[in-house]
Amino acid sequence: MLDYHLHLWQHGPGPLEATLDQVAAYCEAAQAAGVSEIALTEHLFRFRQADAVLGGWWRDHDDQVMASTMERWWASEQGADLDEYVEVVLAAKAAGLPVVLGLEVDHYAGRMHQVADLLADYPFDVLLGSVHWLGAWGFDNFGQQEFVDRWDATSVEAVWEAYTTSLEELADSGVCDVLAHPDLCKITGRRPAVPDEFHDRMAEAAARSGMAAEVSSAGWRKPVGEVYPAPELLARFRAAGVPVTTASDGHRLSQVSERRGDVAAVVREAGYDALAAYRRRVRRAVPLDVVPVPTPTAAV
């Protein structure tokens, strides 16, 4: 098994330093849960280097309430150094720990070329692509009341349409390797009576871009109370030949490889017997229950 979506830091203000001891603890917890390889995939927006290039993107959108809320929240998430993060993870790899270097990268409408340029010179193994905001609305951010209130002013169909369009644009940009929590738009439990069109478009976007899709236990921690993606969407991924990774999207040690057995059962039920693993952005298939330890790299 893999846990290909893990964060070292919880959201909000706080220390944003990666350490080799912390990475080792994550690896130990994963192995105790029967997971033999993890990917550290911290949010790109938490790093000062990303803020320097992308900060202020919310001003591209006309909704001033959402833009000002996003600006405050973005500022509260800042402070990490991308170079230091990369150095620590590379050091962990060099020490033989079963970890690969990744990031979770959001969709920035009209700015994905800037993201690609920012990341081009780093030796990432895997990049997750996510849609966490629609315009400047952080629709899955329940810590900001303005974001929460917007749900009552927006139709479910409009949410799913905007989300799916953003996911298509993200996939077509070619910047990322894996669609993280592909149907995150269902997070509140609200969904169209017939979501088939949206599911079809999500599966088609992944297939034509060559991306994998993530099967994540994180949905069980959210109001929807369901794995990402829904079984109907996962079946479409399978039919379209889209490979999958598995993940917990943990933001603390106690969440590492959470519900690993339940995720494995979902993947098997969908007809998969292998997972997508990555080295230097190159995908290879590995058996569902056996994942090789990565080859050590040179020390930083």
Per-residue pLDDT tens for 200-252? 999 999 999 999 999 999 999 999 999 999 999 999 999 999 999 999 999 99
Per-residue pLDDT tens for 156-192? 999 999 999 999 999 999 999 999 999 999 999 999 9
Give the C-alpha separation, 150 to 132, whole Å: 14
For residue 124, the Cα-to-chain-centroid distance in whole angstroms is 14
Q: Check residue 42 and give its pLDDT.
A: 98
pLDDT at 140 over 50: yes
pTM of the predicted protein model: 0.94
Domain ranges of the chain: 2-287
The percent of residues in the chain predicted with pLDDT above 90, rounded, is 94
The amino acid occupying position 9 is W
Per-residue pLDDT tens for 21-77? 999 999 999 999 999 999 999 999 999 999 999 999 999 999 999 999 999 999 999
- Spatial contact of 130 and 59, defined as CB atoms under 8 Å apart: no
User: Hey, which CATH number is domain 2-287, 3.20.20.140, 3.30.70.360, 3.40.630.30, 3.10.20.740?
Assistant: 3.20.20.140
The amino acid occupying position 257 is S
Going by C-alpha positions, the residue among 85, 21, 5, 11 that lies closest to residue 48 is: 85
